[in-house]
Amino acid sequence: MPDLVADGKPTLRIEITTVDTSERKEFFGHAARHIITTRKQIPLEGSRSNAQQTVTDGWYIDVDTSISCDRHMPEGKRVHAHAFLTAGNMPIEKIEFIDNGVPEEGFAIEWKITSREAIALPDGAKKEHTSIREMRLTQFVEGPLDSALFTIPTGFLQVAHIERNPPANLPSQWSIAWDRFKASVARLFSVKNSVEVAVH
Amino acid sequence: MRISPVWFLILGIPLLHASNASGLKMTVCHMSEGISSDQTFYIEKDRRRAEYRNRIGVHYGPQLASITRCDLGQMFELNLDAGEYVESSYPPKPLSKEERSARTESAGSCRRRQTDPAD
């Protein structure tokens, strides 16, 4: 049964199909299950969104990685966070969600997400764009941890703001290329000079 | 009544096992467009530490860590390179009226920048 999140006719359908392949493997002492989840975004009448398909090919285990004060979602109920969608000056999309299969709620140890989107070009033509992202757990160790990991190291200063991102004045591709050129010319001359010194 | 020390040993085994399994360390590797980045998590029942770096293209920011402590009701974010940190309440408190209006104003200025590239 479609879950209408706003009154009126939906303009966008999001269909999520979860398939358990029945494949299993051992992962650091836990049984991992192989699940493929396909999320289709289908524009309906009146929609301005692009068609999208995202396939998540993942392996999951049953491990609780939450801590006691994390906010928990209601069990067995998928929460549709985006009741409607806005982008720039485009009209609001009314979305209907359709779930096929049992949604996977385990902890992902590995996934490969392949996204395909049909992008509308200014001339009206459509171009398909594909992107791939991957995630893998490379270390998984259960055991006691050093309590110092959860404390502020001595000497750290409390401030109002910390820098989280790379510097804003990143060098441009041209300046990187120019620096490389200057460095290679400098190397050339330093080699020439050292050869001359060796000859004399 | 005399209690054999063996019972203490037998009863202690599950406790020892529980303390060994009390923590979890895991490293997650993300790959996208030929670039990979790692995040490491340390998790106990009421506390968590995450270590990571933000990235813009191939340019990386400073080494960061976030520490969440349920017992203190706080989260700390650390710039490990600069030796600085900020703290906030966890779980986050709902925004006050003033904070909400400040965010709305700030969102408005973003919109203005988007629509007027000359700014």
| Residues B40-83 pLDDT 10s | 999 999 999 999 999 887 788 999 999 999 999 999 999 999 99
Of the candidates B43, B56, B83, the beta carbon closest to that of A156 is on B83
Question: Could you report the predicted ipTM of this complex, rounded to two decimals?
Answer: 0.71
CA distances from B59 to A131, A176, B37 (A): 20, 12, 11
B74 touches chain A (CB under 8 A): no
Q: Look at A83-87, A138-142, B96-100 and tell me which has the smallest mean pLDDT.
A: A83-87
Residues A35 and A37: their CA atoms lie apart, in Å, by 6
Does the CB of B52 have a partner CB in chain A at under 8 Å? no
Q: Above 50 in pLDDT, residue A102?
A: yes
**B60 Cβ under 8 Å from any chain A Cβ:** yes
How far apart CA A55 and CA A38 sit, in angstroms, is 4
* CA of A151 vs chain B CAs: smallest distance (Å): 8
Cβ of A136 within 8 Å of Cβ of B29? The answer is yes
Q: Do A158 and B86 touch (CB under 8 A)?
A: yes
Which one, of A95, A79, A119, lies nearest residue A13 by Cα?
A95
Residue A158 and residue B85 in contact, taking contact as beta carbons nearer than 8 Å: yes
Mutate to test the interface with B, among A149, A152, A170, A176 (most CBs of B within 10 A): A149
User: Largest Cα–Cα distance of chain B, in whole Å?
Assistant: 89
Cβ of B22 within 8 Å of Cβ of A138? The answer is no
Nearest by CB to B85, from A63, A67, A152: name it. Answer: A152
Residue A10 in this model has a pLDDT that exceeds 80:
yes
Nearest to B78 among A68, A144, A156 (CB): A156
| More confident call, A28 vs A6 | A28
Whether B84 contacts chain A with CB within 8 A: yes
Q: Note the helical H segments in chain A.
A: 173-199
Verdict on whether the full-model pTM lies above 0.90: no
Going by pLDDT thresholds of 50, 70 and 90, the confidence category of residue B2 is low
Residue A172 DSSP label = P
Q: Distance from A166 to chain B by nearest Cα, in Å? A: 4
Average pLDDT over all residues of chain A: 83
3-state secondary structure of A63: coil
CA distances from A56 to A13, A50, A133 (A): 18, 19, 10
Q: Which two tokens stand for residue B88?
A: 């906030």
B50 in contact with A, Cβ within 8 Å: no
pLDDT value, residue B104: 65
**Nearest chain A CA: its distance from B3 CA (Å):** 31
CB-based contact A69 B43, cutoff 8 Å = no
